[in-house]
Structure 1
Amino acid sequence: MRARTLLDAHCHLQEINIIERVLEEANRAGVTDFICNGIQENDWNQVLELNIINSRIIPCIGIHPWYINSAIDGWEERMEALLASSNKIYVGEIGLDHYKSKLAPKMLQEDFFRRQIRIALKYRRLMSIHCVSAFGKVIKILRQEMKNSRVPFIMHSYEGPWEMTQELLAHFPNEVMFSLSMVSVWKAKHQSVIERIPLTNILIETDSPSQIIKEMIPEPLEEEKPQNFPKYLPLVFSQLCRIKNSSEEETAEQLYHNFQKILPDAHV
């Protein structure tokens, strides 16, 4: 069996300073690969440049539902041009956030979500999906848009109820991965859902620099608003092992294979 390797399935390294130190600390913690997500067109080039600096940083580009109003005409063509330039650029972070629908109306969010799904399908790319208070709508759209063809997708920082989890597994058993963050594994009400999700459909993430649970950090945090970093991914991993009552070796091995399944071209 390989030495334990952990893979960060969702982060925003373009928002973190001193990236060399952050990657060095992650590597010491056993975290070797990172799916880095853009959230608006203004940061797509930053994400792609990080991949040039370190090929272990896997780039995704997308328009997050919070930033739809920043989109400029022609974004679809520019997104497609970037995807056409390399088969190792993926789609994310996209999705729906009906909790923050004041930032962009629900109908507009759904329109952007569908358009980006269609681009991902056209170029056969993995998608990283944001979903808050909209699980039923996300599932409906995915079923409609992926009726004739499918691509793998990550449900980022997953906190959905079991009913929605079950539906995603029923319709997309080979495509869906539920990516668990600190927030996902910390909440007691969601741990019962995680217990029932097959390990074959799970990934873990930090969502760096967001989604930090201070109570999970063993070291003192001096900052008033501390950031999350990939080096903290082992904390999510350990909590997952406890929830699933599985060994670290078995769990790490399966997470590695799950990552390879959705990104077979990644050199993990």
Structure 2
Amino acid sequence: MTMRFFDAHIHLTDFEGITPQELIADLNDNGIEKCVCVTAKVDDWEKAAKFAHDFPFEVVPCFGVHPWYAPEAKKGWDKELELYLKEFDGAIIGECGLDKLKSTDIAKETEVFEKQIELAFFYNRPLMLHMVKADMWLEKYWGRLPEKSVFHSFSGSVELLKKLINFNHYISVNKRFFNKKGAGRILECVPLERLLVETDAPFQSEVRDLKNVVQNIAEMKNENIEKLAQKLYFNAVDVFVND
């Protein structure tokens, strides 16, 4: 069986020294058939839209404002976001969330995050979530996040994992996950149907690393890698592909 992968979180707009055509070819050469093109700020959105227009089979666009860039969001950013959500009925919202580690303006960060939650419900889209050291902040949002939202680059506790599963959310892991204390316990506790894989390239790993992520999960959960790859692929299809 030829394995195919769905990269749940990649920043296509941040690669340098490579054309879009070469980048998509590189993904395909590494077995990545589909991916979510994640954005962090308004300036990324048009570039992500072009990827989605040019490669509609391979690319699911994800438009949003990352908490690091929330203070930069100018008046009207939400109206512009709506235009992209209307143009791409399969687009998701993010990367958005809360980051206690690097927060410089929690009031603005919260305002921008809550507006994206509002739009996610209005347009019936999941969120791509960036949550760092934010467990306490998250408490007031349980039940307020749209189902099938994704906690990307998950590094939380088993307790956090159980909560998000209870509210029908997913976690996504990448190469760095396996360096974290407690990674084995997280994989032991997460149901396969709530698990996704990502590269978070070009920042946290490389395109070629995704197969190794799946291999590591297969070994730690004692699963057949080909069957696991298929399961993870269709998990992502269930979340990201709007039939």
Q: TM-score, normalised by structure 2?
A: 0.93
Q: What is the SS of the residue equivalent to 2:138? A: helix
Alignment correspondent of 2:45 = 44
Structure 2 equivalent of residue 12 of structure 1: 11
CA gap of 1:151–1:192, structure 2 versus 1, over 3 A, is: closer
Q: Deviations over 1:81-139 (max 9, x none)?
A: 2212221221010000000013xx22321221111011011001121000000023225
Task: Give, as a single letter, the amino acid of the residue that structure 1 aligns with 2:97.
Answer: G
1:136 and 1:164 in contact (8 A); partners too: no
Residue 153 of structure 2 aligns with which residue? 157
> Following the alignment from structure 2 to structure 1, what is the Cα–Cα distance between the partners of residues 184 and 73?
37
Q: Give the match for residue 243 of structure 1.
A: 220
- Tell me if the contact between 2:65 and 2:95 (Cα under 8 Å) persists in the aligned partners: yes
Task: Give CA deviations for 1:30-80 in whole Å, capped at 9, x if unaligned.
Answer: 111110111110110011111122111110110000001221101111111
Structure 1 position 90 matched with structure 2 position 82: no
Match for 2:164 among 168, 181, 184? 168
Deviation per CA, 1:203-244: give whole Å up to 9, x if none. Answer: 0000011113xxxxxxxxxxxxxxx3x232111111111121
Letter of the aligned partner of 1:47 in structure 2? A
Question: Are 2:63 and 2:91, in contact at CA under 8 Å, matched by a contact in 1?
Answer: yes
Within a 5 Å distance, the mapping from 1:145-224 to structure 2 comes to: 145-146=144-145, 150-170=146-166, 172-173=167-168, 176-212=169-205
Work out the CA distance in 1 between the residues paired with 2:236 and 2:87: 23
Once residues 2 and 93 of structure 2 are traced to their aligned partners in structure 1, the CA distance between those partners, rounded to angstroms, is 30
Letter in 1 for 2:125: R
Asked if structure 1 preserves the Cα contact closer than 8 Å seen for 2:164 and 2:170, the reply is no
Partner of 2:71: 69
1:264–1:36 CA distance, 2 compared to 1 (3 A): closer
Secondary structure at 1:194's aligned position in 2? helix
Counterpart residue identity of residue 35, structure 1: V
Structure 2 SS opposite 1:92: strand
Q: State the TM-score, normalized to the length of structure 1.
A: 0.85
| Percent of paired sites with the same residue | 28
Larger mean CA deviation between 257-266 and 59-68 belongs to 257-266
Give the drift of 1:168.
1.3
- 2:119 pairs with 1:119: yes
**Is the contact made by 2:150 and 2:171 (CA closer than 8 Å) also made in structure 1?**
yes
Q: Is 1:107 equivalent to 2:107 in the alignment?
A: yes
- 2 CA distance for matches of 1:195 and 1:232? 22
- Secondary structure of 1:35's match? strand
CA RMSD of aligned residues (A): 1.6
**Partner AA of 2:103 in structure 1:** S
Inter-partner Cα distance in structure 2 for 1:94 and 1:139: 16
Distance (Å, rounded) in 1 between the aligned partners of 2:217 and 2:139:
25
